Amino acid sequence: MTFQDIFKSSFLENVTGVSLLDMSLALLLAFGLGLFIFLVYKKTFTGVMYSSSFGVTLVALTMITTMVILAVTSNVVLSLGMVGALSIVRFRAAIKEPLDIAFLFWSIAVGIVLAAGLIPLAVFGSVIIGVMLLVFVNRKSRCDPYIAVLQCDGPESEAQAVGFLRQNTRRCVVKSKTVQKDAVEVNLEIRLKSEDTGFVNALADLSGVRSAVLVSYNGDYMG
């Protein structure tokens, strides 16, 4: 075979480039591992609004990547054309959660590894990654953070309300403060001593406190 023979191609010859058994086995395994990735994503989702379409996308992305890599590995000319075609594709979908990027790369990596014939690596690697995500993402903090929003009449009532919070919580840190005429709004990150939130009612009854709001906060924070 000469160098020119490598780049000779015909449609009928490409039909038998990948056997039907190999295609069926690769796509079936891709579907199974993609479904596993989808279930892990569903169990570890911690965002505000769950999107079922993103989970389905993970399954489809695993199978599509497997199909593409199978085609690329069977023909040199097709691989060069595929690189050029994919280089002009631009994705505009916004990633809302940083962890979603890991699931996208996980699906793509599984598809590539399966199409390369490294089935044990794809299976055991997915199991290890899935267990790691389930353990670390679902790990509960010993003391969940909350955000307290206070609206007070002035500096005196603000100092009284903040002092009351520091006495009835494990931790109290001012995050932001907005001052207007005859009004002060303070946002504080607090850690509760227990599950009892009755102190919020007593806080709202303090003189000069217009309102007190307690909101669960599951964003990034420093412990």
pLDDT tens per residue, range 15-66: 555 677 878 888 899 999 999 999 999 888 876 667 778 888 889 988 988 8
Q: Which part of the chain has CATH 3.30.70.260?
A: 145-216
Specify the CATH architecture of the domain 145-216.
2-Layer Sandwich (3.30)
Whether 215 and 171 have beta carbons less than 8 Å apart is answered as no
Which of the four pLDDT bands, split at 50, 70 and 90, describes residue 12?
very low
- In this prediction, residue 38 carries a pLDDT of 92
- In this prediction, residue 210 carries a pLDDT of 85
The average pLDDT across 193-219 equals 80
Whether 187 and 147 have beta carbons less than 8 Å apart is answered as yes
- In this prediction, residue 11 carries a pLDDT of 46
- In this prediction, residue 80 carries a pLDDT of 56
Above pLDDT 90, what percent of the chain?
Answer: 9
- The per-residue pLDDT for range 149-199, each reduced to its tens digit, is 888 888 888 888 888 888 888 888 888 888 888 888 888 888 887 777 788
Which is more confidently placed, 23 or 128? 128
Identify each DSSP E strand in 67-218 by its residue range: 145-152, 169-180, 183-192, 209-216
pLDDT at residue 129 greater than cutoff 60? yes
Q: How far apart are CA 59 and CA 32, in angstroms?
A: 8
Backbone angles phi, psi at 130, to 5 degrees: -65, -45
CB-facing half-sphere around the CA of 170: CA atoms within 13 A: 13
Q: How far apart are CA 15 and CA 9, in angstroms?
A: 11
At residue 50, the 3 state secondary structure works out as coil
